[in-house]
Amino acid sequence: MTTVSQDPPKAVAGRLGRGSASHKAKLDWTGWKFIGPFMLIFAFVLIAPVVYSIYLSFFKDQLVGGNSFVGFANYIQVLGDSKFWESLGRVSIFLVVQVPIMLLLALFAALAIDSARLHFPAFFRIGIFLPYAVPAVVATLMWGFMYGVRFGLVANINDFFGISLPDPLSNEWVLASIGNIVTWEFVGYNMLLFYAALRVIPTDLYEAAELDGANHLRIIRNIKLPALRPAIVIGTIFSIIGSFQLFNEPNILKPLAKNTIVTSFTPNMYAYNLSFSGQQYNYAATIAIVMGVATAVIALVVQNRGSRKEV
């Protein structure tokens, strides 16, 4: 048995010519040379920081008393930290409300542009995509000015129509206002993702469907949507990660709404403020690790469910 199973590789090697051990080693090195630069950068920018954060998370450095090893104490503290849970709850609400709205809008836009019924589809495509090219910081500042109830767009609308819109940066509305900014920013990106997936569907499928008497809605339901499935899964995973990492928008709006956007508004803001204004680097690292694991788990679940072959 063993000889039989070992034979084919030898034969292959023999056919290629020199089946010597040294050549085999050379082949191995070629692979490493290709992957080497990637591994180096990967180790430097991903593995090393993660390992260092895990290392940090087992210590506690105090202003009084200095640095000491505390085992899992930081993790236990995170699990009982109401500020952490509040911030996680906030981004979870954001996730379940904002992400579906954004993805549906993106889907609608992609289908509309792909339908070939629009005049100037390229104009719409670039128009919807353009906000993605605006840096998040600039976009947030811009929206921040528009949200102003005294000098901004909201103030102008109120003055013009003699009405009183609710303050977009008040306690009740601030999360929705941030959702609006994020949606504006990322609809175009997701649309492009979906649009690209639609473009690779062979057109003869549409012809066949039309011959069978299928209308447009039918084609969308039975051809386009199933073909879009992988793209939707990818878009969802990106959006989940983006929601859990929410930071730029609330952090930039904070000076405009300092009493409603607290320092622990999102998990990332909480970790940031703990480390950079509270010098609690160890605890911040712990939060980062916990959030990283949580995000990875949820993303994995979505991926598994999304790519499961049904029907």
Partner 1 sequence: MKIRSTRRLRRGAAALTGVLALGLALSACSSAGGSAETGNADDIAKALDTETTITVWAWAPAVEQIAKDFEKEHPKITVNVVNAGTGNDQYVKLQNAIKAGSGAPDVAQIEYYALPQFALSDSLVDLKGFGFDSFADKYTDSTWNSVSLNNGIYALPQDSGPMALFYNKAVFDQYGIAVPTTWDEYVAAAKQLHAADPTKYITNDTGDAGFTTSMIWQAGGQPYKTEKSTDVSINLQDAGSKKFADTWSQLVEGGLVSPITSWSDEWYKGLGDGSIATLTIGAWMPGNLESGVAQASGDWRVAPMPTWEKGQAASAENGGGGDAILKQSKNKLAAAGFLQYMNEGDGTQTSIAKGGFPSTVADLNNDSFLNYESPYFGGQKINQVLVQSSKDVVKGWQYLPFQVYSNSIFNDTVGKAYANKSDLNAGLEAWQKATADYGNEQGFTVKTGN
Q: Which of 219, 273, 299, 306 binds partner 1 (CB under 8 A)?
A: 273
Is position 278 an interface residue for partner 1 (rule: CB under 8 A)? yes
Q: Specify the stretch interacting with partner 1 by CB under 8 A; choose among 10-18, 104-112, 191-199, 273-281.
A: 273-281
Considering Cα of 282, then 286, then 292, then 293, what sign does the dihedral take?
positive
Burial of 267 (0-12, 13-18, 19+ CB in 10 A): buried
Is position 171 an interface residue for partner 1 (rule: CB under 8 A)? yes
Half-sphere exposure of 252 (CA within 13 A, CB side): 19
**Shortest spacing between CB 45 and partner 1, in angstroms:** 20
Residue labelled with tokens 């950068």? 41
Phi-psi region of 297 (alpha: psi -120 to 50; beta: other; left: phi over 0): alpha
Angle (CA) 107 110 113, round 5°: 145
Q: Measure the CA–CA gap between 285 and 281, rounded to whole angstroms.
A: 6
**Shortest spacing between CB 280 and partner 1, in angstroms:** 7
**Shortest spacing between CB 52 and partner 1, in angstroms:** 14
**DSSP run (H or E) holding 213:** none
Is position 177 an interface residue for partner 1 (rule: CB under 8 A)? no
- Which CB atom, from 71 or from 278, has the smaller least distance to partner 1? 278
Burial of 190 (0-12, 13-18, 19+ CB in 10 A): buried
Is position 211 an interface residue for partner 1 (rule: CB under 8 A)? no
Binding mask 45-84 for partner 1 (x = CB under 8 A): ----------------xxxxx-------------------
Is position 260 an interface residue for partner 1 (rule: CB under 8 A)? yes
Q: Which of 38, 151, 160, 161 binds partner 1 (CB under 8 A)?
A: 151
Residues that bind partner 1 (CB under 8 A): 61-65, 150-151, 170-171, 255-256, 258-260, 262-264, 273, 276-281, 283
